[in-house]
Each structure stands twice: as structure tokens, then as C-alpha cells.
Amino acid sequence: MDFEYSEKTKTLLPKLTDFMEKHVYPAEKVYDEQVEASGDKHFHPPVMEELKSKARAQGLWNLFLPNAEHGAGLTNLDYAPLSEVMGRSLIASEAFNCSAPDTGNMEILAEFGTKEQKAKWLAPLLDGKIRSCFSMTEPEQAGSDPTLLKTRAVRQGDAYVIDGHKWFTSNAMHKHCKIAIVMVVTDPEAEPHRRASQILVPLDTPGMKLVRPVPVFNYDGGEGHCEVRYENVKVPASNMLGKEGDGFSIAQARLGPGRIHHCMRAIGGAERALDLMCQRAQTRFTHGSMLADKGIIQHWIAQSRMEIDQARLLVLYAAWKMDRYGKKEARQEISMVKTVAANMYQRVVDRAMQTHGAMGVTNDTPLVQLFSYARILRLADGPDEVHNQVVARRELRRVAQLKTAAIPAAAAR
Ligand SMILES: Cc1cc2nc3c(=O)[nH]c(=O)nc-3n(C[C@H](O)[C@H](O)[C@H](O)COP(=O)(O)OP(=O)(O)OC[C@H]3O[C@@H](n4cnc5c(N)ncnc54)[C@H](O)[C@@H]3O)c2cc1C
């Protein structure tokens, strides 16, 4: 394994870092002010479109997509340090057209979409003209076990008719969001992992109702995590992504890169929190010394540095394994890093908040936003416990298959 940055990464990283310094960090405040001034909490601020056109002009666009036909053609390992830098600001990914859930949706459209689907939906997504959402989780069923999904799509001639209830369809309130990829049951009698399919539903289809953005940490603005009802929603059969029954295999293809991108961004968010923590510690005086001179604060800083670097190495390893052996072979590492990175992120931001005292829980620093993103990450794209279960089951299987004198048979002990 060689985690030396590739030539492509070495070229793009300073450009990206410079762009963040010159354009993205200064735009964070402007972004909030423009939304506030509009009086509409879902307003799409013009500063974002300005950032997008500048980023695109500099070739900092669609960097996430390994598919060279549609994107930058970077490997996951090439992309990891770049995505990390984007993770330092919660508005950055959209500026580079690299934000969830579009990245995952674009990946599956590129991989499984028909020519027509690509022309109609992938092209404008790659262009940054529209945005998308992914609609799988349902309020009435445990989202951690998608074989329990109930939303139905019934074939009627050349169409599917969809009925169901979803929530946490993130991004659906974005002013540019035009298309949902919906996980639906097409054959309830099939074996569990062949029951579901993924189907494209334009947001303006009659019967698709955005009920409400579900408030998350008391916030229901921005792109929204939407409750959605599908009532007699009729879409052409040609909107099926892949074949009927492929829903779970497409979901796996989507979640691998989607999850690791979250982890890459988590490293960047944690780095920014650590920078803020160190800066505060060096400028705040109390009880006879700077905070930076107190043992406990030094311990937090040291722990944070070590935990971030450990998580980064695991991200790079998972990315390397995906590139070299494929997404399926890297499932264990992706599950491991999803849990490790999200928990590390939460701990580091929490320490940074504590170091800031009361200011740490205000909106005067980016820490509160980073903290909520970190906390959400422990649930979104699979809760910690489910990833731990996947990792543990593989370990148990591995040891059960071991043929070694190092472990005597249980009965003989
Ligand atoms: C901010 C946010 C954005 C999201 N965006 C999207 C989106 O865009 N599209 C979408 O479809 N979904 C989205 N989700 C939903 C997310 O994927 C689900 O919340 C997640 O899969 C868990 O499902 P659930 O909430 O129904 O929890 P449940 O399945 O009810 O699980 C509840 C808890 O039970 C425990 N648990 C579950 N399984 C096990 C197990 N095997 N062993 C031990 N404990 C277990 C865990 O602690 C888990 O948190 C989002 C969630 C959040 C918070």
C-alpha cells in the first residue's frame, strides 16, 4: 500500500485549498446572511451559484466520479484528500458539485442508467443545473433493515404506480431538486433481497407530496430532510433503474462510495475543529495560564490529532481497497471506517466546543454545525450498531473457519 498522493491529487490539492481560503470560507457568512435576508429558510443563495461557476472555471468540478467519461476520473484514493478539504466547510461540497446525495445518485445513474435516463437526469446533475434526493427510509419501518420496506410500486401497462410513505428524503426542499430515486417494493413475494427496485420519480409528478422538512436538531431550513407521501404516483416503466428486483444491489453500489465520501469529509471537519480548538487554547487565559498550557486541554489536542490520523489512515486504506479490489471486497473496511470516522468526528468537535466554553455552543463558530453533521453521521447511511454488527459477523466467520493449532477446540480447553 502506498498512500503517497498521486500526481493528480498533488496538482488539484493546492488549487482546492486556495479556493477554499479565497472563496469558500469567506462565503459561509454571506450564505447565511443571504438566506436570512430572503425571509425563506429554503432560499438558494446566489453566492452558491457564484461559487459553483468559479469552481467549475478552475476545473474543480465533479471530482468525486471515478468514471472518466462523466467525471474527473479520479480513483477513490486520489479523491480522499480532496474530499477531506471540502469537508472543512459544510457549504463546500455543493460548490464543487460533489455533495451528497447527488454524488451517490450520479454514480448509480452513470452505472445503471439507460441512455435516455442519463440524458434526462445525469447530464443536468453533472452540470450542476439540478439536484436530487434519495428516498428509502420509512417512518413506520426500521430503516436499518431495508428488507422491511413497504412502499409499493405496481406495474400497470407501461407504467408503475407508487404508494407509500417516506421520511428523511434529504435535499428534497432544495430549490433545484428535480428528481428522486425511490426505493420501492416491486415483488413482495420474492426472496428479501430481490423484492425491491429503484425508480426515478420527478418531483413534480402528481401524487408526490412533500409533507414537511423534518426538523433535525431544531433546524428545518436549507435542503431539508423531508417527509414524503407517494399517493398513486404514476411514472413510465422506463423510469426503472436497472432491472426490477435490483434495488438492493444498486443500493450496495451506491452506499459504498457514498459512505466513504462522508468519512473523507468527516476527517476535514474534524481537522477544522482541531484548528479552532488549538487557536482558542492559545488565546484564552484563565486560572494563571493559557488554556493551551493546561494538561487536560493538551490531552484533548493530542487525542484529537491521534484519532484524526488513525481515521484518515483507515479511510485511505478503505479507498485503496475499493480501487484495487472493488466496492464489494472493501465492504468490511467501509463499515469499519463509517463507524470510526463518525465517532471520531463527534468526539473531536465536542472537545473543541468544550474548549470554547459558552461560545462553543453558539453560532459564532462553525462548531455547532459541524457537531450536528457529525452526530447525524452516526445514523445516516447506517447506524453505528449495524456497521459494528457487519464487522463482528465477518470476524466471527473468519475465526470459525480458521484451521490453526493456536486456538484449541473449545471442548478441549
Ligand atoms: C439527517 C439524516 C439524513 C438522512 N438522509 C436520508 C436520505 O437522504 N434518504 C434516506 O432514505 N434515509 C436517510 N436517512 C435515514 C437513515 O438512513 C436512517 O435513519 C437509518 O438507516 C436508521 O434507520 P431508522 O432511523 O429507521 O432507525 P431504526 O432502524 O429504527 O434503528 C434505531 C436504532 O436501533 C439500533 N439498531 C438498529 N439495528 C441494530 C442492530 N442490528 N443491532 C443493534 N442495534 C441496532 C441503532 O442504535 C439504531 O440507531 C437520514 C437520516 C438522518 C438522521
CA–centroid distance, 109 to ligand 1, in Å, is: 24
What's the pLDDT at 182? 98
Mean pLDDT computed over every residue of the chain: 96
Which has more pLDDT, 254 or 280?
A: 280
The pLDDT-based confidence of 324 (bands split at 50, 70, 90) is very high
Handedness of CA 91, 93, 94, 96 (dihedral sign): positive
What's the pLDDT at 403? 86
Q: Which amino acid is at 199?
A: I
What's the pLDDT at 296? 98
Cβ of 183 closer than 6 Å to ligand 1, yes or no, is no
What's the pLDDT at 413? 59
> Which of ligand 1's atoms lies nearest the C-alpha of 144?
29
CA–centroid distance, 116 to ligand 1, in Å, is: 33
The pLDDT-based confidence of 313 (bands split at 50, 70, 90) is very high
The pLDDT-based confidence of 62 (bands split at 50, 70, 90) is very high
What's the pLDDT at 178? 98
Asked if pLDDT for residue 56 goes beyond 90, the answer is: yes
Q: Which residues pair with 179 in a beta bridge?
A: 132, 202
> Which of ligand 1's atoms lies nearest the C-alpha of 216?
1
Question: Cell match 455552543: residue?
Answer: 361
Contact 75, 323 (CB under 8 A): yes
Across the range 47-73, mean pLDDT stands at 92
What's the pLDDT at 300? 98
> Which of ligand 1's atoms lies nearest the C-alpha of 145?
29
Q: Which residues pair with 232 in a beta bridge?
A: none
- Give residue-wise pLDDT tens across range 354-409: 999 999 999 999 999 999 999 999 999 999 999 999 999 999 999 999 988 888 87
CA–centroid distance, 163 to ligand 1, in Å, is: 22
CA–centroid distance, 11 to ligand 1, in Å, is: 38
Cβ of 52 closer than 6 Å to ligand 1, yes or no, is no
Which has more pLDDT, 2 or 283?
A: 283
User: What percent of the chain stands above pLDDT 70?
Assistant: 99
> Which of ligand 1's atoms lies nearest the C-alpha of 170?
8
Nearest CA to ligand 1 atom 51: 380
What's the pLDDT at 272? 98
Cβ of 388 closer than 6 Å to ligand 1, yes or no, is no
Q: How far apart are CA 399 and CA 409, in angstroms?
A: 12
CA–centroid distance, 20 to ligand 1, in Å, is: 32
CA–centroid distance, 148 to ligand 1, in Å, is: 13
- Give residue-wise pLDDT tens across range 113-167: 999 999 999 999 999 999 999 999 999 999 999 999 999 999 999 999 999 999 9
Across the range 93-106, mean pLDDT stands at 96
Nearest CA to ligand 1 atom 9: 169
The pLDDT-based confidence of 65 (bands split at 50, 70, 90) is confident
Cβ of 88 closer than 6 Å to ligand 1, yes or no, is no
Cα-flanking dihedrals φ and ψ of residue 154, to 5°?
-110, 130
Asked if pLDDT for residue 246 goes beyond 90, the answer is: yes
The pLDDT-based confidence of 412 (bands split at 50, 70, 90) is low
